[in-house]
Chains A and B, each alone.
Chain A
């Protein structure tokens, strides 16, 4: 990774420290700054409220020309997060063809927060969960809350 890329990651971390984005905590290891661990609270009013979700953000060598890779390390019942041990996300900003270099990690984290409040059904990575969200909201919320209890406490 180039020196300027490292500098930018440091700067972004600095910004996150001064402007502390609400509802999350970032663990940063200076020895391994290309991998951030984020602890995100389930937003109030969403099915995930009360849960704490561990996220991993990996910066590629070409950052910021290529997007960071985001994955949920805590299992989450969500149409936009893959329902496997990877917990991957691949939508919006995070798609290489949509990413623009001025975008920042904070924007990615905000996107994730807003997706927890309102999933993007049109771009569901888990269509069955997406369908449930659309057609049987009660069942969806029950399942989501169930998972919060089971995995995210």
Chain B
């Protein structure tokens, strides 16, 4: 019953407003409020006529218009009207929800029901008002998806995260959520880490930093997905770094593939054209989830695809197609003799092996002097950090950085504690800070012998030069 001065309806609306400050009172006994719709399980929505299903986490709010008649609450229920922008909520659901106001009012037998009703709507929104899926016209698709994305970003920006790397609390607006695993780091740490990996060429570590990431596979190895160039740009990393990343990743794959031959022009040395590793056109479009760092290279099969109908007559040995085309300079050359293409019916001339440019000779010298070859796959390795027990980044063989010996995986350290291995005994932790390629590593074994021979040769030359200088 209305008491003198204050109307019961005004009082109820004011109370409601103190609970929901976003409630707008339009007229003495009318108000409206927007209730956010963020179902706990994103709602699957498909858009006609395309049958693509999107799971939408944030839908445009449900607007509730309230009007309180003069004999509310004792004699009449509140008048409610529900609507959604883009009218995404189906009319029958709207009707059902509106009817609930009446039912509640009856249940409360003429008491104040506004708060109970708003709570009811909020609760119903969490389960998407009982909807299990939704079909809408594709004309609203963009707007709906944009809205959800914007809301997600806004809420994320307002949140605070403890970055696990710098250990500082950071606002969401300077954080990034990893697309695949949802781990959150601050952008600064992510950039530092990823740029560092890419700069060092350590592309196999371009992945989420979290310790939870990467499931341990049944074989005990961790398998983690590398980040796609597109995602790196979103973090954002500079375009240049992302291009380098994509390039190195592709190069590693090509290098691991024994069937790829390189262009014989010393100034070019591009790989031969192949469909297996498409050239990088634009990293901004590279969404590849390709990510196994080490895909097994399929051995070239000798089987020719059987063509139905007319059978093609093959020339020479099957699978011995000699023609290759350089992907960089488009030179057509022979895979066998590396001369420019001589046609199918010419025998290959032996090639001259001393055709290295000065630059190549210099890098070859560097590699010979400052790297240890993997005993299994011969890939040259330079230690950037850690002990001298190495695991090959390409084939995972265990070996000794000092003498290049293969080490048994079940006991790789025995090598360093056996006094018989003179060059390596007790030297597991030599140069733990990494080999900077400045000749500070004293290699062991055959490598050490080469190194020593080289040293004495240089020494002899130096002494000879000094003597010559004295003589003249």
Contact = CB atoms under 8 A, between A and B. Distances in A.
Contacts of A86: 429
A4 B167 contact: no
Interface stretch (A29-37, A46-54, A94-102, A140-148): A94-102
A89 B152 CA distance: 45
Nearest to A91: B413
A101 B386 contact: no
A15 to B, nearest CB: 8
Contacts of B389: 90
Interface stretch (B47-55, B186-194, B334-342): B186-194
B417 interface: yes
A125 B391 CA distance: 15
B167 A12 contact: yes
Contacts of A103: 211
B146 interface: no
A84 interface: yes
A101 B209 contact: yes
A102 B210 contact: yes
A119 interface: no
Interface in B417-442: 417, 426, 428-429, 432-433
Nearest to B163: A102
Contacts of B385: 60, 66, 96
B428 A128 contact: no
A86 B426 CA distance: 9
Contact of B211 (A65, A102, A124): A102
Given A4-B166, A11-B167, A96-B386, A88 B429 contact: yes
A1 to B, nearest CB: 12
Contact-size category for B: 20 to 34
B442 to A, nearest CB: 16
B365 interface: no
Given A86-B429, A97-B391, A103-B211, A8 B166 contact: yes
Nearest to A85: B426
A27 to B, nearest CB: 21
Interface residues of A, number: 34
B16 interface: no
A8 B433 contact: no
A128 B413 CA distance: 11
A135 interface: no
B196 A90 contact: no
A128 B124 CA distance: 67
B181 to A, nearest CB: 13
B193 A124 contact: no
B164 interface: yes
B193 A90 contact: no
Question: Which of A65, A97, A122 counts the most chain B CB atoms within 10 A?
Answer: A65
B417 to A, nearest CB: 6
A60 B211 CA distance: 20
Interface in A1-58: 2, 4, 7-8, 11-12, 15
Nearest to B210: A102
A82 interface: yes
B238 interface: no
Given A102-B209, A124-B411, A128-B417, A7 B387 contact: no
Contact of B196 (A8, A65, A126): A65
A139 interface: no
Closest 3 CB pairs of A and B: A102-B164, A88-B429, A90-B387
Given A7-B168, A102-B210, A124-B413, 10 more contacts: A8-B167, A71-B429, A82-B416, A82-B426, A90-B413, A90-B429, A96-B385, A96-B386, A101-B189, A127-B417
23 contacts: A8-B166, A8-B167, A60-B433, A62-B196, A65-B197, A71-B429, A82-B426, A83-B417, A90-B387, A90-B413, A96-B386, A100-B211, A101-B164, A102-B209, A102-B210, A102-B211, A103-B211, A122-B410, A124-B411, A127-B411, A127-B414, A127-B417, A128-B417
